[in-house]
Structure formats: C-alpha cells, structure tokens
Structure 1
C-alpha cells in the first residue's frame, strides 16, 4: 500500500492510480506487465507505446519528439536523473536501515553474507546481480516494500564521484568498505585514488557506523570501526581453520568472544563474515541468530562455488578477478584440496590499466609456492604470466573452448579452479 500512497502523493492528478496495486518499476520494456511503472532510458524511449499497450500504469520518457496522448505517459527532462530522484524520495519515505557496501574485492560476497545474517531476524532486500551503479542502485531501492526493515546495497564504481552520487541517492545508515586494492586502476591510476573514491561513502555515515577491514593500511588513521586480524582492531579475528566442509574462526570484541562456524571457504571470507557480523550486532541481531545463520550462508553464483561435473570438482570463482583476489583464492584452493590432483584455470584480470602486465606477471610468485599439478592460462594479459612459469605444467590457450576440451582429459577426482574477470567467460567451461 505504501508504494501506491507514495505515487498518489507525487502525482495527485492521476486519478487512475487510486484503486490499483502498483507492480514493479522497470527499465526493460520486455518485462513490463499490467500496472507496472516503466522509465524509458536511452533506447527505452522507443518502446513507450508498447508498454502502454501492455497496461503499464505510469510511463516516463525523456525524448521530446515523442507525441503521446495518454494520461499515463509523462515527459521528464532526463530519465536517469528522474529515476535517481524518485528512488531517493522513496527511500526517505520508508523506515528502513540502509547499508552501503563497497571495496575493491569482496563487496558482493559481503553483501550476500550480510543479507543472509540479517534475514535471520528481519525482512529485507539486497542488490541483485550487477545492479550496483547509478541506474541499478535506484532500481534496487525502488523494490523496497513497506514491511522491509533493511536493504544491503552493493556500491560499484570506476571513477571518482560515483560512490558520492550513490550515497546521495541511498542515504546509507551504515557503510562497509572491504578493502582498498588494485581494481579500477585503468581509470583511477593508483590506490590513493581508489581510497578517495571508495571512502566517499563516509560523507553520509557517522564514524561509529563505518565498518572497514582494519588491517588495510589505508584505514590506519580513519575514523571507523575496524575489523581484522591485528590486535589493535575493534573486532579481532583469530584461529581461522578450514577443511572441505567449510571454515571456522573466533571473533573477539568488547570483552566478548564468538565461535563462528561457516559453510564458506577461505580466510578472506572470515573477514567478509566478520564485517557483516559487526553491522548485524549493531542492528539488533542476537549472537545466537548470527551464529546459526553463518552455518548456511548463500552467495551469488561464481563466488568460490563448488560444482561437481564430469567426475571432477570445479571451484567456480570466475565472476571477477583482481591481483589480491586471485592470490588469496588460489591459496585457499590449494589448501582445501591439498591431497587432490589440482588444476588451476586462470584468465585475464581486466581494468588494471598501465600496470596490467606487471600485475599479471606478479602472480608467478604466488603460483610457484603452491602445489598445483597443472595451470591453464587464457587471455592476452595472461601470456605475460605464461612466459614466467614452468612450461612442464603450465599451458597457454587461445580460447576458453580449447581449455574446455583439454579439461575433459583430466583424470576423474581432480579439483579444477576457475578464476578470471567475468568478461573472459570462463564459466563456458561448465556449459
């Protein structure tokens, strides 16, 4: 009912809105159903008549050349700005806790973990897929319902000013910054600029509600709540252990201790979990509820996802990649499957700018320390890594399809690790 009241207040002259149940707010004309709201962005303006015929209750467009005589169709000067302001006003009309999550690595996993934990007590929403930019975030906010108590918003960016704009729209109550890494160097050039860009979210959040990975040197002097392994953090992670069942660790804070057991692999996920736990404790989720939720956390696909296929175990971590994420996930894979035959399939890490070749070559130091049986590389940037490695067990391929054919020959029972930026499409190997 709240959404209907909201739009009736915004458009009091639209009498046809009085007694309907407003559906979704969409920018994809193909998905529009009766009583949905459609916002025509860019080429979406071409489908205004189509969505009206489908029964949309309100349609917004910014092409001044469109001539439509229908009370449901409303012209706006800029559809994207209209969407953003609409979402901002809608968020402000609701009693909901908004958590903004950003960082160079781990923000999607942390968002999923936080959603899993908070859902143990409250009804809420989270960012779906890659809806984490200046268009996706407003659409996510507009999915909120009156009885939702929280929303976990992933905030992505590629340049300065973008996180600030997302903060203006979302007005977050809490902020989580997972780390400052080498992602986005194509546009930001160095980590100092990455730090400036990511911490734009702090402009909207009180210091006591800014939760960060405290072991990252960039947060040494920041006014934040610090979470990490170092003893000077506010929340301290200790005694991490993992096997094929998952991981466990202890979290110490304010004289208290929590013994956490989780289905997720990787010491890096213990950090993501601890960041999420810190917010959950602050918004009233009990320790018992948190610990129970941690036993069965649900992540978005292709994040260290276990898939058994063709007599082999695949660890599909091929949604995204950066130098830090590549290193820690390879180490995790090597540790979990230490007694198995191991094949690592690695593709290019994208958007690393002028440092790309150096950062790809730098992976050789990590790989040489691991007990991998075979390494398959694909992508023009990975060719530089191939040159540095032992060619007795390292192989370079021109296409993902060639790797897929080669993996069929790997013996049954082997563990196969997939890691690359999403644009490399390593996921095709599992098709």
Structure 2
C-alpha cells in the first residue's frame, strides 16, 4: 500500500508511534479489525465492542506476522511497533481518509433508503465490462465498514463501488469525508431510520450529506421517480443526472433524463425484460434478477456506465450478467422447494417489493416475515400495512415472528391468507420445516436484528438432508 508507512499512518490519525525507529518507514500490506484476517505485513486495528475488546488479540496478531497494531492504551513488551491513539474507531476513519487521498481511483458512492446493495451489484456488473472493480462486500457500509472497504483498494483496481448506509444525522458527512466520491448515486428516499431522522424530509437531508465531499468535477445520479429527489436541482455547481422508469407509480417530471425505461415484461422468477432508452438509441435488456423494482437499478447503472465511458452495448451486457448475493433476493433451490433469501434487512418498501416477487411464484406461496426496525412512532401502523399487502398480493400462508409482527399478522388476517404467528423464532423455524412441501416457494425477510438467516440455514440443512 503505497505511502502507507507507519510514520504516515501515525500522523494521519494523530497517534504516537512506539517502537523501533528503523520501522517507521515500513509500508503496511493491509489493514483489518478482525484478528483472524491478519496476514504478514498487516496493520491490526483493535475495536472495543459490546462483547469483545479487540485489544486482547494483539499478542496473537504479532504471532501471525502483523507489522504493527493500533492501541488505545500503552502496551507492555509488545512483539512489534504500535501506534497509540485515543480512539481506534476514529483512527480507522482517519487512516482510510489519508489512504483515499493517495489514490487516483474513481469512487462511486451509493446511498438511499432501499436498493443500495442491489444497485451496487448492478453498477459493479456493468463497470466490470471495462474496469477492474472493487465493491463493498457484505454489510460493510457504515462508519467502520466503509473505511475498511477503502483500505481494501489495491493498485490493480481501476474503480471502486461503495455502499454508504446511515441511521442518523452527521453519519453520512463522516463517511463521505473518507470516501470523497467522484459519483454520488441516490436510489430513493423512503421510510427508514425514522427514529432518528423523523420523516422523509429528514431522510433526504441526512442522505444529502453525501454531497459534502463530492469532487469538484464529480457527478450526481438520482432516481427521477422519487418525489423528494427530483427537488435536487444543483449541488456545488453540479447538475444531477436523472433516470426514470415508466411504471405507472410516478408522474414524469420536466427533468433532463439521461436514461429512461419502459415496456417492462415481468418474467416472474426468471427476471424481466425492458426497453432502455439511451439518448442515441433504444435497447432491449434482460435482467436475470426477479422483481420489477430492479429496473431502477439497471437505469442507475446505465447512467454511471455512460459517465465512466462504457458503450451502450457494454452497459446492456453488464446488466444481463448481474447477480444477487446472499440475503438479497437470492434464489435457493432445495429439492422441489424454492427459497427466496431476502433476509439481510427490511423496511416497508422493500418488504412490499419482495412480496411482489413472491407473487410471481407457482405453487403455494409462503411468506416468512419478521419485525422491521427503526421506523419511528408509526412502526405499528407500518407493520399492519405490510400485513394487508401480503394478503392482497396473494401470499397463501404467512409465518411471522417478533413483537411488531403481531400487527403484521393482524393486517394479513383481513384477507384470505392463512396466518401463523410465533413469539419465538426457533418455534417458527421448526414448524416451517415440517410444513413446507414440494412445489412451495418460501420468502424469508426481516430486519437484520431478527437473525432470519438462521431460518434459511435451517431450511437448507433440513431440505438437503
């Protein structure tokens, strides 16, 4: 990692270098917070968690060949040099910010209430047609994950696509300061994290902090279907590029659209076809990922692709090769049962989108839904509304779990859907395993804290046995 010497790192994070002066000029080869990921030449950054203090693993990482470590306290007889800092978490951001300043790579930052990960995957698939792309892995999109993603960039990478998630005011400002994106993409403004952000106007203000560190020659890509985003006219002299999907849900505004899409042909769980309108031509695209909402991701990716110099043909090829990841509309075939693993996170908009995907299935449609977090004072009403939606979209059976999901169950009972409510996830899981049969399609979705991936894993173990 060029210029990432221990001396420069200490200066970047305001730390005090302790160790052999001869090693001050040594460059690290990587930086991690997980001691299990340490390799020779790495910098280990110990984080104090609720359950585990990373400082306890400092002796272990030196045995693995770590070049140096950070520490919030003096170390007695360490096996190598260390940099003492006031806060490892803040130092992580400072170090990543310094590293970002040494890079010429283009960074695309993606935020929004819904669809950040799927849009990141689509943009990465498109840009990979021309560039060596690094992208956010897993849920590394917050004040710890974003800096770690930046620190994964290497000389061979030509562009980085990073997801930027927040839950409070000021958080986006702090991670944007690290990423300094060249292109800012915003998917939509929905009802997420309302405990802290109050309403959609608050969400827009908080998400818009991504523009605080936009490069002077940067670009902004926005969803022209979103009534809040179309109010963004200009930022630091940069006029946004808008995309629009003719889906019957929003009136087309008088905006300079770069990309529009129409003639959507839903192929159910096999994906969809649509017409993508470029300024020069109209191309038919195929998306292998189910869900009409994924057309928005394709439009966003097309806008970014054009900014990055891809041809229209390269853009369409990238869209056709897009894939899902675990927990994001990931289709898992288990014998004659199809599981839609969409349980990474949830809010009212994404819940309804996933139920729309389930509605395309053949056979019995089983929705396994759990609580949605951080929705604010109207959380019970929002859960009730999702329950009604589940019944109206044709879910045959609803399994639900969680305190708030009692309201979800009540909403679903207004229709013809059979509802089974459980206070305990393990009881739900066992009942579900005994209930499913050949030909069923099972959607599993809830907010991350509900730990619904354990339900998916249990289904895999039971149905593959």
Normalising by structure 2, report the TM-score: 0.85
Deviations 1:340-372 (A, max 9, x none): 221111111111122110100112442332222
**Structure 1 stretch 65-74 or stretch 187-196: which is displaced more?**
65-74
Q: 1:406 to 1:50 in 2, by over 3 A?
A: closer
Q: Residue 32 of structure 2: which of 10, 15, 26 is its match?
A: 26
Q: Does structure 1 retain, via aligned residues, the 8 Å contact 2:261–2:274?
A: yes
**Structure 1 stretch 6-15 or stretch 42-51: which is displaced more?**
6-15
* 1:79 corresponds to: 88
Q: 1:400 to 1:46 in 2, by over 3 A?
A: closer
| Aligned pairs (5 A) from 1:60-79 | 60-63=70-73, 65-68=74-77, 72-79=81-88
Q: Does structure 2 retain, via aligned residues, the 8 Å contact 1:41–1:61?
A: no
* 1:319 corresponds to: 344
Q: 1:269 to 1:47 in 2, by over 3 A?
A: same
Normalising by structure 1, report the TM-score: 0.92
Q: Residue 387 of structure 1: which of 403, 407, 410 is its match?
A: 410
1:15 is aligned to 2:22 = yes
1:227 is aligned to 2:243 = yes
1:47 is aligned to 2:57 = yes
* 1:345 corresponds to: 368
Q: Distance in 2 between matches of 1:50 and 1:403?
A: 40
Q: Distance in 2 between matches of 1:25 and 1:374?
A: 47
* 1:396 corresponds to: 421
May I ask how many residue pairs the two structures share in their alignment? 425
**Structure 1 stretch 310-319 or stretch 223-232: which is displaced more?**
223-232
Query: How many Å apart are 1:119 and its aligned residue?
Result: 1.4
* 1:99 corresponds to: 108
| Aligned pairs (5 A) from 1:8-407 | 10=8, 15-16=22-23, 22-42=28-48, 43-63=53-73, 65-68=74-77, 72-205=81-214, 209-223=219-233, 224-229=240-245, 231-232=252-253, 233=255, 234=257, 235-243=259-267, 244-334=269-359, 336-337=360-361, 339-390=362-413, 393-407=418-432
Q: Distance in 1 between matches of 2:56 and 2:369?
A: 41
Q: Distance in 1 between matches of 2:78 and 2:420?
A: 63
Query: How many Å apart are 1:17 and its aligned residue?
Result: 7.3
SS in 2 for 1:357: helix
Query: How many Å apart are 1:311 and its aligned residue?
Result: 2.5
Q: Does structure 1 retain, via aligned residues, the 8 Å contact 2:291–2:354?
A: yes
Query: How many Å apart are 1:330 and its aligned residue?
Result: 0.8
Q: 1:225 to 1:11 in 2, by over 3 A?
A: closer
Q: Does structure 1 retain, via aligned residues, the 8 Å contact 2:367–2:443?
A: yes
* 2:437 corresponds to: 411
Query: How many Å apart are 1:22 and its aligned residue?
Result: 4.1
Q: Distance in 2 between matches of 1:35 and 1:389?
A: 56
SS in 1 for 2:339: strand
Q: 1:393 to 1:25 in 2, by over 3 A?
A: same
Q: Distance in 2 between matches of 1:145 and 1:231?
A: 42
Q: 1:319 to 1:124 in 2, by over 3 A?
A: same
Unmatched tracts of structure 1, length 5 or more = none
Deviations 1:69-101 (A, max 9, x none): 666222233322222121112112111001111
Q: Does structure 2 retain, via aligned residues, the 8 Å contact 1:327–1:366?
A: yes
RMSD (Å), alpha carbons: 2.3
Q: Distance in 1 between matches of 2:231 and 2:198?
A: 23
